[in-house]
Amino acid sequence: REKMVMSSLKLKQIDEQKGKIDGFDLLKEALPSLDDIAAASKARKAKQKATLSTNTNKAKKRLATAELSQFGMVLEHPSFKSNPFESIQKHLRNSLAPEVQELEAKSIRRGKEHKRMETKKREEKKDRQREARFLKAKGGRKGGGRAAKRM
């Protein structure tokens, strides 16, 4: 009987400890994980590296001339001439929109996974509590009473 009491106390302590740690899960889930950030930056770097390599001086000069010609075209564009800040904002929105959508989709998936895990944890806790109650009730009736000691 002492073993059952100790095991039920141990289960309660484990549940209490889990409750203390779980407070940070929501915060952790809300923030983008390091893997997501690293994957996004690797994808950006790979895309940039695939377009132009700047390992040699010749490649650097080629890159500089390409960027200067592109910059000249941007400066002469009518929308940039009329409102440069709006043009830059529009460019950034258009170029970063796919990345933002991807991160939002990952966040939604993480939220669903979090809800699923929370539900699973609650069900497991209920099962452990039911099991502990059952064992406690079963242990109290079986062989541990005064009638068993008299015989």
Query: In the predicted model, what is the mean pLDDT of residues 125-150?
Result: 72
Burial 48-73 (b: 16+ CB within 10 A, else e): eeeeeeeeeeeeeeeeeeeeeeeeee
Does residue 4 contact residue 114 with C-beta atoms inside 8 Å?
no
Helices (H), ranges, the chain:
2-22, 25-30, 34-51, 57-76, 78-82, 84-141, 146-150
Does residue 124 contact residue 22 with C-beta atoms inside 8 Å?
no
pLDDT class of 129 with cuts at 50, 70, 90: very high
Residue given tokens 């809300």 in the structure block: 30
pLDDT tens digit sequence for 41-87 = 777 777 666 565 667 888 888 888 888 888 888 888 888 888 888 88
**Residue 95 vs residue 120, higher pLDDT:** 120
Query: Which tokens in the block code for residue 83?
Result: 């409102």
Query: In the predicted model, what is the mean pLDDT of residues 138-149?
Result: 55
CA angle 45, 48, 51 (to 5 degrees): 145
Q: Mapping DSSP to helix (H, G, I), strand (E, B) and coil, where does residue 58 land?
A: helix
pLDDT tens digit sequence for 10-50 = 777 777 666 555 555 555 555 566 567 677 777 777 766 65
